[in-house]
Amino acid sequence: MNKVTKLLHTRYRVNDLERTVKFYREVLGLEEVRRHKSPRGSELVFLKAPGSEEQIEITYYPGSGPVQVQPDLTHLAFEVDSLDEFAKHLAKLGIKYSDGPTTSSSGSTFAFIDAPEGYEIELIEKK
């Protein structure tokens, strides 16, 4: 029986590749794994969180028109040790949570920030 074995990466298309890559590196602390141009001309940058295998593919492909992210369309979720400490890190960068922190029924706390292009980033402090 054929079936997939693991999730490798998720793609997000953006209007400003370098601004977005800078955000993911400086704000979230992701590392750039590789960068290349596809045969059809897309510029691709792969990033990953230090404790994850899955990668995020940030793609710039102006030939398909501008990116317009609808509210609540999609988001990426990352685990953090402390939302309070992460808020201090964000404050140094002039960024605030766009929603939360909120405690769930399971006891975990979560908050959101907005990435360039309007994609949401969920930050989760597990209990």
Active site residue 117: no
18 strand-pairing partners: none
Phi and psi torsions of 61, nearest 5°: -140, 85
**6 Cβ contact partners less than 8 Å away, ≥ 6 residues apart:** 53
Give the active site residue among 43, 57, 79, 122: 122
Residues carrying an active site annotation: 122
